[in-house]
Amino acid sequence: MAENFLPALDAAALPPGKGETIEIAGQRLAVFNVGGEFYALHDACPHRGGPLGSGWVEGEKCTVACPLHGWEFDIKTGACINVPGRPVRSYPVRLVEGKLWVSVQQSAASGQ
């Protein structure tokens, strides 16, 4: 396990079609289970900071809608569907022995 991946939560605690807000390394992240695949985004919506981990997950589109005003984001990339140019950061995740690990130092989109 690369040292920049930190344990986030037990995968069994996040059923398919759900999201949750977690705090890891002093940052609030939104983690999602879409059909058994796990993803992590910055939790604060770029509009007015709505908690994306409490948003509505649309599994078929792999999107989450912000619970405050409904901006939609691609869960895989963090791209904003309604307002291009206002993405949220996405983070690499790994599933190891039933536990979800997140790298808060890298961006999943840039791979840096």
**Which residues 14-53 are close enough to bind ligand FES by CB under 6 A?**
45, 47-50
Closest separation in Å from C-beta 39 to ligand FES: 18
Alpha-carbon distance of 97 to 5, in angstroms, equals: 14
Number of residues engaging ligand FES in binding (CB under 6 A): 10
- Report, in Å, the least distance between residue 18 CB and ligand FES: 18
Residue from 71, 73, 91, 101 touching ligand FES (CB under 6 A): that is: 71
Contact (Cβ atoms closer than 8 angstroms) between residue 19 and residue 31: yes
DSSP 51: B
Q: Which is nearer to ligand FES, 47 or 99 (CB)?
A: 47
Query: Are 53 and 21 contacting, i.e. CB atoms less than 8 angstroms apart?
Result: yes
Q: Determine, following the binding rule CB under 6 A, whether residue 69 of this chain makes contact with ligand FES.
A: yes
**CA neighbor of 38 nearest in space, from 107, 90, 1:** 90
Our CB check for ligand FES shows the closer of 17 and 70 to be 70
The reply to whether 93 sits near ligand FES by the rule CB under 6 A is no
Residues 3/94, Cβ–Cβ less than 8 Å? no
Amino acid at 104: V
Residues forming the site for ligand FES (CB under 6 A): 45, 47-50, 66, 68-71
